[in-house]
């Protein structure tokens, strides 16, 4: 339907002579249209649902390391697959420049392909560390980069939640000595996150591990990793 220069006149032709906001609302409701909805704009939840199979979110987190040169801030780039909640972390870097960012974009794409996870859309915030080289490498690999709206952290909620988890459950409990130490701790946490840690959004089951229902009856036990910081309970089959 085209735009008429006098929509009020069109309504009068249909027998509606008193036109107000409630008139429009009533007409919409009579036709099973919610007047609160904008038919031209889907909700953010609709976007996530439509793209979950190929949607990733990414974000940085950092840790101050003890090095021979003193205490230095080191950065890690995290990617999360929205549908499965599976993670990929970059190796850490003191200097996430354009070359490093391009390398991480390529590494992420290779990981997604190896895991059989589509990388159609990558959602990121507007941090200046996301360079043209980063976006270009993702685009060359077939991914669409979608920057978040300004001051809208909820649009990146899944990866933000992961960053909170790794910091609170793991990194905040360590004094880290150098990059190799940080990379080791991050690898152990991601392994724990994937195979041992229960996830509320996934019926409190591990993402890739074996749940208690699969093991059946048996005796309980406590296991740990990352120096005993990451603990989990499991059953041993009888």
Residue 197 belongs to some domain of the structure: yes
Cα–Cα distance list, 110 to 78, 114, 119 (Å): 15, 6, 10
What secondary structure does DSSP assign to 67-129, as a single string? ETTEEEEEEEEEEEETTT--EEEPPPBS---HHHHHHHHHHHHHHHHHTT----EEEE---TT
pLDDT at 63: 98
Is-contact 205 198, C-beta < 8 A? Answer: yes
Q: What are the two backbone dihedrals, phi and then psi, of residue 137, each rounded to the nearest 5 degrees?
A: -65, -40
Q: Does residue 21 sit in the same domain as residue 123?
A: no
Distance CA 208, CA 30 (A): 48
pLDDT at 232: 57
Q: Does residue 14 sit in the same domain as residue 99?
A: no
Residue 198 belongs to some domain of the structure: yes
Query: Could you tell me the pTM of the whole model?
Result: 0.73
pLDDT at 151: 77
Residue 227 belongs to some domain of the structure: no
> Taking Cα atoms as reference points, which of 80, 137, 127 lies closest to residue 105?
137
Q: Does residue 80 sit in the same domain as residue 134?
A: yes
Q: What stretches in the chain show pLDDT beneath 50?
A: 1-3, 212-216, 224
Residue 219 belongs to some domain of the structure: no
Distance CA 181, CA 189 (A): 12
Q: Does residue 85 sit in the same domain as residue 198?
A: yes
Q: What are the two backbone dihedrals, phi and then psi, of residue 58, each rounded to the nearest 5 degrees?
A: -135, 155
Q: Does residue 80 sit in the same domain as residue 182?
A: yes
Distance CA 59, CA 147 (A): 11
- Which structural domain range is residue 23 located in? 7-41
Q: What DSSP element (H or E) covers 186?
A: helix 179-195
Q: What is the pLDDT of residues 163-180, one digit of tens each?
A: 999 999 999 999 999 999
Residue 179 belongs to some domain of the structure: yes
Counting the structural domains of the chain, the total is: 2
Residue 217 belongs to some domain of the structure: no
> In this structure, what CATH number is given to the domain that contains residue 56?
3.30.420.10
Q: Does residue 25 sit in the same domain as residue 62?
A: no
Q: What is the pLDDT of residues 112-161, one digit of tens each?
A: 999 999 999 999 999 999 999 999 999 999 999 999 988 787 889 999 99
Q: Does residue 199 sit in the same domain as residue 105?
A: yes
Q: Does residue 127 sit in the same domain as residue 160?
A: yes
Q: Does residue 161 sit in the same domain as residue 66?
A: yes
- What 3-state DSSP class applies to 53? helix
Residue 130 belongs to some domain of the structure: yes
pLDDT at 1: 44
Residue 233 belongs to some domain of the structure: no
């Amino acid at each position: 339907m085209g735009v008429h220069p006098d929509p009020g006149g069109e309504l009068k032709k249909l027998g509606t002579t008193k036109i107000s906001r409630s008139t429009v609302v009533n007409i919409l409701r009579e036709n099973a249209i919610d007047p609160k909805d904008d038919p031209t704009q889907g909700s953010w939840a609709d976007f996530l649902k439509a793209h979950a199979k190929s949607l990733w979110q990414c974000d940085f987190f950092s840790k101050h390391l003890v090095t021979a040169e003193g205490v230095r801030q080191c950065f890690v780039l995290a990617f999360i697959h929205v549908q499965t909640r599976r993670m990929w972390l970059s190796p850490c870097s003191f200097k996430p420049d354009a070359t490093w960012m391009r390398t991480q974009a390529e590494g992420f794409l290779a990981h997604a392909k190896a895991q059989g996870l589509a990388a159609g859309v990558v959602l990121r915030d507007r941090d200046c560390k996301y360079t043209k080289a980063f976006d270009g490498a993702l685009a060359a690999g077939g991914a669409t980069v979608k920057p978040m709206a300004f001051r809208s952290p909820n649009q990146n909620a899944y990866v933000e939640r992961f960053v909170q988890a790794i910091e609170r459950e793991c990194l905040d409990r360590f004094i880290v000595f150098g990059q190799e130490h940080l990379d080791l701790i991050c690898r152990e946490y991601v392994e724990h996150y994937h195979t041992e840690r229960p996830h509320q959004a996934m019926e409190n089951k591990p993402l890739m591990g074996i749940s208690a229902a699969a093991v059946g009856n048996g005796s309980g036990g406590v296991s740990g990793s990352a120096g005993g910081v990451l603990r989990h309970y499991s059953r041993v089959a009888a």
